[in-house]
Structure 1
Amino acid sequence: MQCYIYKSLVKDELYLYLNKKDDFSDIPEALFKSFGRLQFVMELELTADRKLAREDVNKVMTSLSNKGFFVQMPPTVLPDALAVQNSKLH
Structure 2
Amino acid sequence: MQAYVYKSQRKPDTYLYLAARDDFGCLPQPLLASLQPLVFVLDVALTAERTLARTDPAAVRANLAGCGFHLQVPPLPDGRTDRDDD
CA contact 1:8–1:39 (8 Å) conserved in 2: yes
Flag structure 2 segments of 5+ consecutive residues without an equivalent. Answer: 80-86
- Shift in Å, 1:36: 2.0
User: Is 1:27 aligned to 2:27, yes or no?
Assistant: yes
State the secondary structure of the residue aligned to 2:3.
strand
Deviation digits for residues 26-69 of structure 1 (CA, Å, limit 9, x no counterpart)? 00001111102000000100012211101111000000000000
Q: How many residues align?
A: 79
User: Is 1:17 aligned to 2:31, yes or no?
Assistant: no
CA contact 1:13–1:75 (8 Å) conserved in 2: no
TM-score between the two structures when normalised by the length of structure 2: 0.88
Structure number with greater Rg is: 1
Equivalent position of 1:8 in the other structure:
8
TM-score between the two structures when normalised by the length of structure 1: 0.84
Return the structure number with greater helix share: 1
Equivalent position of 1:73 in the other structure:
73
> Which portions of structure 1, spanning 4 or more consecutive aligned residues, are displaced by more than 6 angstroms?
none
